[in-house]
Protein backbone atom coordinates (compact mmCIF):
# COMPACT_ATOMS: atom_id res chain seq x y z
CA UNK A 1 0.00 0.00 0.00
CA UNK A 2 1.40 3.41 -0.90
CA UNK A 3 2.62 5.34 2.14
CA UNK A 4 0.66 8.38 0.95
CA UNK A 5 -2.51 6.48 1.87
CA UNK A 6 -1.74 6.51 5.58
CA UNK A 7 1.10 8.95 6.33
CA UNK A 8 -0.09 12.44 7.18
CA UNK A 9 1.69 15.30 5.49
CA UNK A 10 3.15 13.14 2.74
CA UNK A 11 4.53 15.36 0.00
CA UNK A 12 3.88 12.84 -2.78
CA UNK A 13 0.40 13.22 -4.19
CA UNK A 14 -0.23 11.12 -7.26
CA UNK A 15 -3.29 9.93 -9.15
CA UNK A 16 -3.67 6.85 -6.94
CA UNK A 17 -3.58 8.94 -3.77
CA UNK A 18 -6.10 11.38 -5.23
CA UNK A 19 -8.42 8.48 -6.09
CA UNK A 20 -8.02 7.00 -2.61
CA UNK A 21 -8.67 10.37 -0.95
CA UNK A 22 -11.80 10.87 -3.07
CA UNK A 23 -12.94 7.37 -2.10
CA UNK A 24 -12.48 8.22 1.59
CA UNK A 25 -14.24 11.59 1.21
CA UNK A 26 -17.16 9.90 -0.49
CA UNK A 27 -17.34 7.14 2.09
CA UNK A 28 -16.78 9.08 5.31
CA UNK A 29 -17.61 12.72 4.67
CA UNK A 30 -20.94 13.75 6.14
CA UNK A 31 -22.50 15.50 3.18
CA UNK A 32 -25.25 15.36 0.60
CA UNK A 33 -25.41 12.33 -1.69
CA UNK A 34 -24.61 14.41 -4.77
CA UNK A 35 -21.28 15.44 -3.22
CA UNK A 36 -20.48 11.84 -2.25
CA UNK A 37 -21.22 10.68 -5.81
CA UNK A 38 -19.19 13.57 -7.26
CA UNK A 39 -16.21 12.63 -5.08
CA UNK A 40 -16.41 8.98 -6.14
CA UNK A 41 -16.64 9.92 -9.83
CA UNK A 42 -13.64 12.21 -9.41
CA UNK A 43 -11.80 9.23 -7.92
CA UNK A 44 -12.51 7.25 -11.09
CA UNK A 45 -11.45 10.26 -13.17
CA UNK A 46 -8.11 10.33 -11.34
CA UNK A 47 -7.55 6.70 -12.31
CA UNK A 48 -8.93 6.52 -15.83
CA UNK A 49 -8.40 9.95 -17.42
CA UNK A 50 -5.09 11.42 -18.54
CA UNK A 51 -4.29 14.93 -17.34
CA UNK A 52 -4.05 16.08 -20.97
CA UNK A 53 -7.54 14.88 -21.93
CA UNK A 54 -10.19 17.58 -22.10
CA UNK A 55 -12.79 16.22 -24.52
CA UNK A 56 -15.19 13.28 -24.39
CA UNK A 57 -14.34 12.71 -20.73
CA UNK A 58 -17.48 10.83 -19.75
CA UNK A 59 -17.19 8.64 -22.86
CA UNK A 60 -13.58 7.74 -22.08
CA UNK A 61 -14.29 7.22 -18.38
CA UNK A 62 -17.28 4.96 -19.10
CA UNK A 63 -15.42 2.77 -21.57
CA UNK A 64 -12.19 2.43 -19.62
CA UNK A 65 -13.93 1.63 -16.34
CA UNK A 66 -16.24 -0.85 -18.09
CA UNK A 67 -13.29 -2.53 -19.81
CA UNK A 68 -11.23 -2.93 -16.65
CA UNK A 69 -14.13 -4.16 -14.53
CA UNK A 70 -15.41 -6.29 -17.39
CA UNK A 71 -12.08 -8.12 -17.25
CA UNK A 72 -12.97 -9.00 -13.65
CA UNK A 73 -16.32 -10.49 -14.62
CA UNK A 74 -18.59 -7.49 -14.18
CA UNK A 75 -21.10 -6.77 -16.95
CA UNK A 76 -19.36 -4.00 -18.91
CA UNK A 77 -22.67 -2.57 -20.19
CA UNK A 78 -23.98 -2.22 -16.63
CA UNK A 79 -20.72 -0.62 -15.48
CA UNK A 80 -20.75 1.80 -18.41
CA UNK A 81 -24.35 2.81 -17.75
CA UNK A 82 -23.82 3.19 -14.01
CA UNK A 83 -20.73 5.38 -14.47
CA UNK A 84 -22.69 7.50 -16.94
CA UNK A 85 -25.55 7.92 -14.46
CA UNK A 86 -23.10 8.82 -11.68
CA UNK A 87 -21.29 11.27 -13.96
CA UNK A 88 -24.61 13.00 -14.67
CA UNK A 89 -25.12 13.44 -10.89
CA UNK A 90 -21.54 14.71 -10.57
CA UNK A 91 -22.16 17.29 -13.30
CA UNK A 92 -25.38 18.49 -11.71
CA UNK A 93 -23.57 18.98 -8.39
CA UNK A 94 -20.38 20.45 -9.92
CA UNK A 95 -22.46 23.05 -11.75
CA UNK A 96 -24.24 24.19 -8.60
CA UNK A 97 -27.38 22.08 -8.77
CA UNK A 98 -28.95 19.17 -6.97
CA UNK A 99 -30.95 16.16 -8.06
CA UNK A 100 -34.38 17.33 -9.09
CA UNK A 101 -37.50 15.23 -8.99
CA UNK A 102 -37.12 13.86 -12.56
CA UNK A 103 -33.43 12.97 -12.19
CA UNK A 104 -34.01 11.37 -8.81
CA UNK A 105 -36.92 9.27 -10.13
CA UNK A 106 -34.83 8.15 -13.10
CA UNK A 107 -32.03 6.96 -10.80
CA UNK A 108 -34.50 5.32 -8.40
CA UNK A 109 -36.11 3.43 -11.29
CA UNK A 110 -32.72 1.84 -12.05
CA UNK A 111 -31.14 1.53 -8.60
CA UNK A 112 -34.15 1.71 -6.20
CA UNK A 113 -32.36 4.46 -4.26
CA UNK A 114 -29.65 7.04 -4.94
CA UNK A 115 -27.68 5.43 -2.09
CA UNK A 116 -27.52 2.20 -4.11
CA UNK A 117 -25.96 4.10 -7.02
CA UNK A 118 -23.39 5.51 -4.60
CA UNK A 119 -22.65 2.05 -3.15
CA UNK A 120 -22.08 0.55 -6.61
CA UNK A 121 -19.87 3.47 -7.56
CA UNK A 122 -17.81 3.09 -4.39
CA UNK A 123 -17.39 -0.64 -5.06
CA UNK A 124 -16.17 0.06 -8.58
CA UNK A 125 -13.77 2.74 -7.36
CA UNK A 126 -12.39 0.53 -4.56
CA UNK A 127 -11.86 -2.39 -6.93
CA UNK A 128 -10.21 -0.14 -9.52
CA UNK A 129 -7.83 1.26 -6.90
CA UNK A 130 -6.84 -2.27 -5.86
CA UNK A 131 -6.25 -3.42 -9.45
CA UNK A 132 -4.18 -0.36 -10.27
CA UNK A 133 -2.18 -0.59 -7.02
CA UNK A 134 -1.25 -4.19 -7.84
CA UNK A 135 0.01 -3.54 -11.37
CA UNK A 136 3.41 -2.14 -12.17
CA UNK A 137 2.46 0.19 -14.99
CA UNK A 138 2.44 3.96 -15.02
CA UNK A 139 -0.98 5.57 -15.30
CA UNK A 140 -0.74 6.64 -18.95
CA UNK A 141 0.73 3.27 -19.90
CA UNK A 142 -2.20 1.45 -18.27
CA UNK A 143 -4.73 3.78 -19.90
CA UNK A 144 -3.10 3.18 -23.30
CA UNK A 145 -3.26 -0.57 -22.67
CA UNK A 146 -6.97 -0.34 -21.83
CA UNK A 147 -7.63 1.74 -24.96
CA UNK A 148 -5.58 -0.59 -27.17
CA UNK A 149 -7.31 -3.66 -25.72
CA UNK A 150 -10.50 -2.68 -27.55
CA UNK A 151 -8.89 -3.39 -30.93
CA UNK A 152 -5.83 -5.56 -30.25
CA UNK A 153 -6.18 -9.11 -28.94
CA UNK A 154 -2.63 -9.21 -27.57
CA UNK A 155 -3.24 -6.02 -25.61
CA UNK A 156 -6.50 -7.47 -24.31
CA UNK A 157 -4.62 -10.57 -23.15
CA UNK A 158 -2.06 -8.34 -21.40
CA UNK A 159 -4.85 -6.42 -19.66
CA UNK A 160 -6.55 -9.66 -18.63
CA UNK A 161 -3.26 -10.91 -17.20
CA UNK A 162 -2.80 -7.72 -15.15
CA UNK A 163 -6.35 -7.85 -13.86
CA UNK A 164 -6.22 -11.56 -13.06
CA UNK A 165 -3.40 -10.92 -10.58
CA UNK A 166 -5.76 -8.76 -8.55
CA UNK A 167 -8.85 -10.91 -9.06
CA UNK A 168 -8.20 -13.36 -6.21
CA UNK A 169 -7.47 -10.57 -3.74
CA UNK A 170 -10.60 -8.66 -4.69
CA UNK A 171 -12.87 -11.69 -4.42
CA UNK A 172 -11.36 -12.64 -1.04
CA UNK A 173 -11.90 -9.13 0.32
CA UNK A 174 -15.48 -9.12 -0.98
CA UNK A 175 -16.12 -12.54 0.59
CA UNK A 176 -14.82 -11.28 3.95
CA UNK A 177 -17.05 -8.20 3.74
CA UNK A 178 -20.11 -10.35 3.04
CA UNK A 179 -19.40 -12.39 6.18
CA UNK A 180 -19.26 -9.31 8.41
- How confident is the model at residue 4, as a pLDDT? 54
- How confident is the model at residue 15, as a pLDDT? 92
Mean pLDDT, the chain, rounded, equals: 89
pTM of the entire structure? 0.85
CB atoms within 10 A of CB 174: 13
Q: Long-range contacts for 110-116 (Cβ within 8 Å, ≥24 apart)? A: 110/81, 110/85, 111/85, 114/33, 114/37, 114/89, 115/33
- How confident is the model at residue 117, as a pLDDT? 97
CA distances from 101 to 41, 95, 104, 108 (A): 22, 17, 5, 10
Read off the pLDDT band of 174 (50, 70, 90): low
Residues 162/131, Cβ–Cβ less than 8 Å: yes
pLDDT digits (tens, 9 = 90+) for 80-116: 999 999 999 999 999 999 999 999 999 999 999 999 9
- How confident is the model at residue 12, as a pLDDT? 67
Alpha carbon 33 to chain centroid distance? 17
Best CA proximity match to 177, nearest among 127, 114, 129: 127
Alpha carbon 176 to chain centroid distance? 21
Tell me 4's DSSP state.
G
The residue with greater pLDDT, 39 or 174, is 39
Amino acid sequence: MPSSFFELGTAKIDYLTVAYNRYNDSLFQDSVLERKIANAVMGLEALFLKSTEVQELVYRLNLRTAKLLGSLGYDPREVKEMVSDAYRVRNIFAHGGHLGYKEKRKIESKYKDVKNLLQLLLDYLRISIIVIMLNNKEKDELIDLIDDSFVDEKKEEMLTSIVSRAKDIIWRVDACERQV
